[in-house]
Structure 1
Amino acid sequence: MPTFLETVHVLNGETLHLNYHQKRINDVFHYYFPDTPVLNIQDYFASLELPQSGSYRARLVYRTEWEFHEFIPYKSKNIKHLAIVNTDDFEYFFKYADRSHILKKVADHPEADDIIFSKHGKLQDSSIANLAFKKGDTWYTPKDPLHWGTTRRRLIDEQVLEEKDIWISELSEYSHICLINVFRPLSDTDALLLPNAIV
C-alpha cells in the first residue's frame, strides 16, 4: 500500500487553503481506504505547534493515520529552463510520498532546471508543480495533468484557469508558461517566456 504526502504552505503561523488539501485527502481515502474514517487535516494542524514567523513547507506523510510531519523553511527553486520528457506508463494520480521516479527523470536532464512530463504529445506537469500556459489574456492548464494539485484545483474553481489539452505541436501558440503550486502563484511576473524556456 503506498504512502501519501500533503505539502502545505505555512506562512507566519497560518496554514493556507487547507480545505483543498482536505479534498485531496478525501479522494485518497475514497479510492484506497473506503471503509476507514477520513483523516482531518484541520484537526491535525490544531494539535501541532506551528512556526510563527516566515514561510514553511509542512510535509505530512500518511496512510490511514498520520505517520510523520516536518516543517522546512521554504526556499524557492530558481527555474529558468525546462526539458520535455515522455511520461510513458508512469502514473501519479495521487500525491504519493515516493517520488523516486520523478527525481530520477529530473537527474537525467542536467541541461534543465526542471522537466515537463508529456503523454501522447500532450503536456502534463513539471516535477514540482502543475502548469499554466498563457494565450492572449487567458491562462490554460492541461486537462489531463499527471496529478491535480490543490492550487490548480482552486484556480479552476475561481475561474482563473481553464482546462484544455496543451499539445507540444501547438506550444508556439502560447506566450508564457507558469509553474503553479502552493508556493508558486499564477502571474505574469512569475511566468517564463515561450519558447525560450524550453531546452
Structure 2
Amino acid sequence: MLCFETICVEHRRLKNLSYHEARLNKTRRELWGCDDNWDLAELLHVPNLVDDTIHKCRIAYDKVVGNIQWEPYSRRVIRKIRRVYHDEIDYRYKYDNRDTLNALYAQRGDADEILIIKKGLVTDSNFCNVAFFDGDRWLTPASPLLPGTQRALLLDRGVIETAEIRESDIGSFRQIRLFNAMVDWAQAATLDVALIA
C-alpha cells in the first residue's frame, strides 16, 4: 500500500515543502512505524526537463521511495459540482489507491467535480479541499477526508477557519472554493453554491 505527495513546482522551486514533509513523515510514522524523518529538499532535485511553468512532482512511497514523477500541470475547469454520498469512506492518508474516490467521481454525471458527503457532513471534492464563503469568512470543513497541505497553510495564515459544515448548511453560503497543493488560493475555482447539484 503506497501513499504519495503531490508537490507544486513553480519557477523550478518546490512549494510549501515543509507542509508536505510534515504530512509525509507523519504518514510514514503512523502507517509503517518509521522513526526517521525525510528531508524532501535533499531527496528531491528538480530535473532539467522542468522549466519555469507549473509542474507537478509526485512522490510515491511507503517505508522507502517508490517512484518520483515530474510532469507539466494544467488547471482543470470546474463549472458545476455534484453531491455524492459515502458514509464509510476513509482517506485519512494520501493513499495511492483511489478506487473508492474514482467510483464516486464516476457518479458526477454532467458535472465537472464532486462534493463528498459523509454521514451528513461536507468533506472534500475528488482532488481538492473546499471552503465556503458566508459573506464574511471562508470556512472549511472541520472533518475533511484528507487534511491538505494548502489547507494547513491557509489555516496557519488565518485565511480560512474550520467549522462543522452539514449538507443542509450549503444553501446558507454564497460561494464554494476548491483548492489543493497545485492550486493557489487566489487562482482556485470559485463557484456560486447554486452550482452544486
TM-score range, shorter chain: over 0.9
Task: After superposing the two structures, state which structure 1 stretch, 30-39 or 148-157, moved more.
Answer: 30-39
| Distance change >3 Å, CA 144–CA 43, structure 1 → 2 | same
Structure-1 residue corresponding to 2:116 = 117
Q: Following superposition of structure 1 onto structure 2, how do residues 169-188 of structure 1 map, counting pairs within 5 Å?
A: 169-187=168-186
Matched with 2:151 is 152
> Structure 1: how far apart are the matches of 2:170 and 2:106?
24
SS in 1 for 2:51: coil
Deviation at 1:194, TM superposition (A): 1.4
Cα drift, residue 186 of structure 1: 2.6
Shift of 1:78: 0.8
* Paired position in structure 1 for 2:196: 198
Cα drift, residue 175 of structure 1: 0.3
Q: Distance in 1 between matches of 2:129 and 2:51?
A: 28
Question: How many angstroms does 1:185 deviate by?
Answer: 2.7
Matched with 1:108 is: 107
Per-residue CA deviation, residues 5-59 of structure 1 (Å, 9 max, x unaligned), is 100001121100100001101210221122442332221114x525132110111
Structure 1's unaligned 5+ residue stretches are none
User: The residue matched to 2:168 in structure 1 has which SS?
Assistant: helix
Give 1:29's aligned residue.
28
SS of residue in 2 equivalent to 1:160: coil
Partner of 2:47: 49
Deviation (angstroms), 1:147: 0.7
The code of the aligned residue for 2:37 comes to: V
Which residue in 1 is equivalent to 2:8?
9
CA contact (8 A) 2:4 2:94 kept: yes
Q: Normalization by structure 1: what TM-score? A: 0.93
Give yes or no for contact 2:178–2:188 (8 Å, CA) kept in 1. no
CA RMSD of aligned residues (A): 1.6
1:168 deviates by 1.2
Separation in structure 1 between the aligned mates of residue 90 and residue 34 of structure 2, nearest angstrom: 24
* Maintained 8 Å contact 2:133/2:174: yes
The aligned counterpart of 2:129 is 130
Q: Distance in 1 between matches of 2:54 and 2:126?
A: 21
Moved more, 123-132 or 74-83: 74-83
Runs (4+) off by over 6 Å: none
Q: Secondary structure at the match of 1:126?
A: coil
Structure 2 match to 1:163: 162
Q: Would you say the 8 A contact 1:39–1:65 is kept in 2?
A: no
- 1:188 offset after TM fit, Å? 8.6
Distance 2:165 2:184 in 1: 20
Mean alpha-carbon deviation: is it higher for 127-136 or for 23-32? 23-32
Q: Which runs of 5+ in 2 are unaligned?
A: none
In structure 1, C-alpha distance between the alignment counterparts of 2:86 and 2:145, rounded to whole Å: 8
CA contact (8 A) 1:178 1:187 kept: no
Equivalent pair of 1:123/1:142 in contact (CA under 8 Å): yes
Q: How many residues align?
A: 196
